[in-house]
Amino acid sequence: MLRTPLEHISDAFQGMDIDVGRAAHTVTKALDYVGVDDKSHGRRVGLICHRIAHLLGWDRHRRHFILLAGMLHDCGVSSTAVHQKLTDEIEWNGAEDHCIRGEIFLQSFSPFESYAKAVRYHHTRWEHLPEELDQETREYANLIFLSDRLDVIFASFNLGHHHHEVLLHREKILGELRPYIGSLFAEHLFKAAELAAQKDSFWLELRDEFLDDAIFETLSSSDYKLSLSFDDIESLGELISYVVDAKSPFTHYHSLRVADLAYSIAGLAGYDNYHRRILRIAGLLHDVGKLRTPDEVLEKPEALSDDELAQIRSHPLDSKRVLKAIFPNTPIAKWASEHHEKLDGSGYPFGWSGDQIDMPTRILTIADIFQALCQKRPYRDRLQVNEVLEIMDRMEKDSQIDTDIYNLLKANKLELYQTAVREG
Ligand SMILES: [Fe+2]
Ligand SMILES: [Fe+2]
Ligand SMILES: [Fe+2]
């Protein structure tokens, strides 16, 4: 009864060799969605850090380190409102939270663990850095802070000007930070920034068209290959899902629980453990595109306007783009991007129907609908299991969701409800 069209997943996906730099770049690109319209902040900060590190005379290893730490620095930010606050003010009282969260996220994935400490202190004044921090980490953290603030000023300048005009105003941009030498920023780091900023390329490469090329050019001169096991790949998935779920109280644990549900339902459907785990990763990341959806849209208690609905309907394709880059040659991006498709063709973004939607996607869709209904929403409280099933019965009757999979869910409703509502 259940077709399992999974043969096309190559067994090579038992693990993969990755380049840490490329992995950090891809993850950053995904997380930079939070910038909504300006979605290159993390990558620009990484590059700025690297260019300044050159002028500081740091060796290749340290330059590579700061490029990656710089790119990943804001991995604790998933709320568009927090992102806005961080752009509006040089120093903002609420900044500490995302530093702590970033540290925890990075610690959860061993290839990124070494960047956690620098990220933890990337909004701490130079004069207030904890004594016990070693000199190297102090410099890393403070260089990220400086580059980050420089980028924020640069980005706001860029909004109202042609890109080349920055060459005429670099003094003014740096000047805004000069009053903070010695307090917020270490003097020797600031001096190096001033030297770096004299080069035209420092500014021109920050342009979206040049940014990735500049980063890849820099990365290709380094060699930081490592082999990831399947466990590592899963924990990378978990790291990104924590960022997505932290976005809003209404999305807490959503990805994690959808992943657990998809894993359980796939088990009930007879999938082997390997394929269940791949589907679990798709569950963890299905909503990564929502990083781009403004918080106020996700948290709005009233009905959404057409414009807001259009923003929501964009997230599956954003997920696809990110996941194709992180997990090439796997069906993860496909499943994730189709989790709002319906069997009767009424879903989005592709409007697929019937056989165009494969079985793993149908499982993921049912897991997503079930979890969302079990979770508190801005416009209603958590529903009880029978209320949830009443709604889903109608969907099944209207031929929107897969009958066989839905029957499996119903037969195990209490256990799966517990999975769906678990916190932590
Ligand atoms: Fe930050
Ligand atoms: Fe930042
Ligand atoms: Fe979704």
For residue 98, CA distances in Å to 167, 236, 379 come to 32, 19, 27
Q: What's the gap in Å between 366 CA and the centre of ligand 2?
A: 36
- C-alpha–C-alpha distance, residues 345 and 212, integer Å: 38
Q: What's the gap in Å between 368 CA and the centre of ligand 3?
A: 7
As to burial, measured by CB atoms within 10 angstroms (0-12 exposed, 13-18 middle, 19+ buried), residue 299 is middle
Decide if 16-220 and 229-421 have a common fold.
yes
- C-alpha–C-alpha distance, residues 52 and 148, integer Å: 12
Ligand number nearest CA of 151 is 2
Q: What's the gap in Å between 73 CA and the centre of ligand 2?
A: 6
Ligand number nearest CA of 298 is 3
Ligand number nearest CA of 283 is 3
Q: What's the gap in Å between 312 CA and the centre of ligand 3?
A: 8
Q: What's the gap in Å between 399 CA and the centre of ligand 1?
A: 46
Q: What is the pLDDT of residue 209?
A: 92
Q: What is the pLDDT of residue 248?
A: 79
- C-alpha–C-alpha distance, residues 228 and 231, integer Å: 8
Q: What's the gap in Å between 123 CA and the centre of ligand 2?
A: 9
3-class DSSP assignment, residue 18: strand
Contact of 388 with 406, CB cutoff 8 Å: no
Structure confidence by residue, pLDDT tens digits, 83-136: 888 888 889 989 999 999 999 999 999 899 999 999 999 999 999 999 999 999
| Of the options 2.40.340.10, 1.10.150.120, 1.10.10.10, 1.10.3210.10, the CATH number for the domain spanning 229-421 | 1.10.3210.10
Amino acid at residue number 423: E
Structure confidence by residue, pLDDT tens digits, 34-79: 876 788 999 999 999 999 999 999 999 999 999 999 999 999 988 8
Q: What's the gap in Å between 114 CA and the centre of ligand 3?
A: 32
Q: What's the gap in Å between 86 CA and the centre of ligand 2?
A: 7
Question: CA neighbours within 13 Å on the CB side: how many for 218?
Answer: 29
Q: What's the gap in Å between 290 CA and the centre of ligand 1?
A: 20
Q: What's the gap in Å between 258 CA and the centre of ligand 1?
A: 29
The tokens of 123 are what? 């909004």
Give the chain's count of helices (H) and strands (E).
22, 2
Per residue in 328-339, is it b (16+ CB within 10 Å) or e — as a string?
eebbbbebbbbb
Q: What's the gap in Å between 294 CA and the centre of ligand 2?
A: 17
Q: What is the pLDDT of residue 380?
A: 84
Q: What's the gap in Å between 422 CA and the centre of ligand 1?
A: 30
Q: What's the gap in Å between 121 CA and the centre of ligand 1?
A: 9
Q: What's the gap in Å between 218 CA and the centre of ligand 3?
A: 35
Ligand number nearest CA of 255 is 3
Q: What is the pLDDT of residue 12?
A: 46
- C-alpha–C-alpha distance, residues 24 and 30, integer Å: 10
Q: What's the gap in Å between 32 CA and the centre of ligand 2?
A: 10
DSSP state of 292: G
Q: Which residues pair with 225 in a beta bridge?
A: 19
DSSP state of 133: S
Q: What's the gap in Å between 212 CA and the centre of ligand 3?
A: 28
| CATH 3.10.100.10, domain 16-220, yes or no | no
Ligand number nearest CA of 282 is 3
Q: What's the gap in Å between 101 CA and the centre of ligand 3?
A: 23
Contact of 325 with 18, CB cutoff 8 Å: no
Q: What is the pLDDT of residue 233?
A: 85
Instruction: State the Rg of the chain over Cα.
Output: 23
Q: What's the gap in Å between 16 CA and the centre of ligand 3?
A: 27
Q: What is the pLDDT of residue 10?
A: 53
Ligand number nearest CA of 155 is 2
Q: Where are the alpha helices (DSSP H) in 160-292?
A: 166-175, 187-196, 200-204, 208-220, 230-245, 254-268, 273-285
Which residues, given as ranges, of the chain have pLDDT below 70?
Answer: 1-15, 36, 222-223
Q: What's the gap in Å between 242 CA and the centre of ligand 3?
A: 15
Residues with Cβ–ion distance below 5 A, ligand 3: 287
This prediction's pTM: 0.86
Q: What is the pLDDT of residue 225?
A: 77
Ligand number nearest CA of 87 is 2
Closest listed residue to residue 241, CA positions, set 287, 276, 274: 287
Q: Where along the chain do its domains lie?
A: 16-220, 229-421
| CA angle centred on 46, ends 154 and 287, rounded to 5° | 95
Amino acid at residue number 269: A
- C-alpha–C-alpha distance, residues 207 and 44, integer Å: 9
